[in-house]
Amino acid sequence: MQIQRTYVCDAASNTEPEILVRGWVHKIHDLGKITFVHLRDKTGIIQLVFTEGKPEHLRLEMSIEAKGKKVENPKAPGGLEIAVEKMSILGKAYYDKLPFEINSGKMKAALETQLDHRTITLRMPKVRAIFKVQEEITDAFRTYLTGLRFSEIHTPKIISSSTEGGSEVFTVNYFEKRAFLTQSPQFYKQMTVGAGFERVFEIGHAYRAELHNTWRHLNEYVSLDIEMGFIKDETDLMDLEEGFLKFLFEQLRRNCSHELEMYGIELPVITKIPRMTLSYAHEVLLDKFGKKSPAGNIDAEGEVLLSKYVKEKYDSDFVFLTGYPVAKRPMYTMPSEEDPTLTKSFDLIYKGLEITTGGQRIHDYEMLRENITKFGMNPDDFGFYLESFRYGMPPHGGLAIGLERLTMKILDLENIRQSTLYPRDMNRIEP
């Protein structure tokens, strides 16, 4: 009977007399008559013992399979090893030397070099841990929302009209017609709410032709989008996101304790995320730090300083900012009844970085047409979008969370490219 493969994480609990493992050669310790080999698979590292010396032709990063008996050894990774009886090379390694060392536990290569050889970098357990955390974020997002009767949707990424307006869009030659790569699924998630789905979410790519090349900017990223019908106002959306973050942190503590430990992260228990108006945030920045803010917003330095204040006063890594001006929000954003110059929208700042923008949308057909005109656009160019508003669109709103930004801040990474599997920025379109 053929032995089934055992993943490293399951080796300790496997009660069979022999086990078979597969993975990559992570380290080789050749002691002459005995050789220790650390084998790495997607779940961990286990030690293989060869009592007849180093196997011929064995090299770092070859993919192999090995069969043998388990032996307890407190000095081995995970406290056990395999006395190898049979080994096979499954994938040869063709190289003079690796681009950089990946088995020392500490990356010495510059970030750009790491990205040039991304599939090599991703073999490092500590780098791989980033994407285990990211995997759990998307799983928690989906689990939390489906539990609240949200439906997952998949919207087009090639569209005929710019979602947000402005020039920060990539154009596409679509059968000799001009089209765009979507900046967000905004129109489609609103339309789908109005189509009777009521509550929708999407995990999908978004594209921004922004001329920024900083530690926090990407030109292609993954957006965690939500749209919810029959809301009271934007506070329902902030409550929803707060609930998701509490759920997420609990899941990360449960499923990613090892990965969080690798980065020295101890996630706090989220109680209530502070909420403050943008105008109040401007006052805090000016009074506490002598920092003047741009009209209708706060800049990157302001986000960092405000987070410092919130951490000291509220012991929170998060803060919701509300009351953004109409002029600084897209044309579909609902104005405030109390002050028509302001919107019923918000940003969420996490450890000095904006990770979410959201708010209530205009749901009245005539009001939305009028607002499109106020923003200098032609409503006739948005006919497919406006149609759903003619047939009883409910009060609704939504938000979008940047997956890479959230990952970066959870693990306190220095650059957003570290939390991006294959980054796309102004200078990088490979690998």
Share of the chain above pLDDT 70, in %: 98
pLDDT band at 165; cut points 50, 70, 90: low
Q: Indicate the CATH number of 8-91 among 3.40.50.880, 2.40.50.140, 3.40.50.1110, 3.40.47.10.
A: 2.40.50.140
**Helices and strands, number each (H, E), in the chain:** 11, 16
Q: Could you state, in order of their start, the residue ranges of all structural domains in the chain? A: 8-91, 125-419
d(CA 19, CA 84): 10
**CB atoms closer than 10 angstroms to residue 20:** 18
Q: For 375-395, how does the pLDDT look when each residue is reduced to its tens digit (9 = 90+)?
A: 999 999 899 999 999 999 999
Q: Quick one: which of 203, 226, 218 has its CA closest to 157?
A: 203
pLDDT at 98 over 80: yes
Quote the strand ranges of 175-294, DSSP E.
Answer: 177-181, 199-207, 220-229, 275-277
Q: What is the pTM of this model?
A: 0.95
**Fold category of 125-419 in CATH:** BirA Bifunctional Protein; domain 2 (3.30.930)
Has residue 161 got a pLDDT over 80? no
Q: Is the peptide bond preceding residue 17 cis, with omega within 30 degrees of 0?
A: no
Average pLDDT estimate for 262-275: 97
